[in-house]
Amino acid sequence: MLLATYGLRSGEVAKMCLEDVDWHREILTVARPKQRRAQEYPLTQETGGAILQYLQKVRPRCDCREIFLTLRAPIRPLSRGALYHLVSSRLSQLAISLPHRGPHALRHACAGHLATNRFSLKQIGDHLGHRSAYATRIYAKVDLPGLREVADFDLGGLR
């Protein structure tokens, strides 16, 4: 959910700590190493519920501050590689065919969803934690419904 809803990078999810979730304010704080700052997001009810369920029922008890941990000894924070394996395996189980099968595919899906909902490249870049619009341009895919809308625009007989 963190990868698809918020478009987070696998490293950002792997490094997320317990104190990054402010349950009282319903805020999720994400360390953005490329920007050298933290970014806050509203914690969706669905995502908050999933994190809470994981913390209560799945996460091994230990002194680690990272949220996501390995389930087998030695207990340690989940790596980016482990996240890749989890996402890739889940996509395979769901028979979802994508050119790229890791966490970054979910980041692209998030950006595509925002573009479909008419967010500007600047807004998408801000959501993804980009410093410049140049970095966001790789997520700009062809918007076929938008192109059809432009093609159907009435030019008032200037065709």
pLDDT 10s digits, 31-63: 987 667 899 999 999 999 999 999 999 999 999
Q: Which CATH superfamily is domain 2-151 in?
A: Intergrase catalytic core (1.10.443.10)
Question: For this structure, is 107 an active site residue?
Answer: yes
Question: For this structure, is 130 an active site residue?
Answer: yes
Question: For this structure, is 85 an active site residue?
Answer: no
Cβ–Cβ contacts within 10 Å for residue 40, how many? 12
* Catalytic choice (6, 15, 108, 139): 139
Q: Which of 61, 68, 51 is nearest to 16 (CA)?
A: 68
* Catalytic choice (34, 90, 100, 137): 34
* Catalytic choice (32, 80, 85, 104): 104
Above 80 in pLDDT, residue 100? no
What integer pLDDT is reported at residue 82 of this predicted model? 92
What integer pLDDT is reported at residue 159 of this predicted model? 46
pTM: 0.81
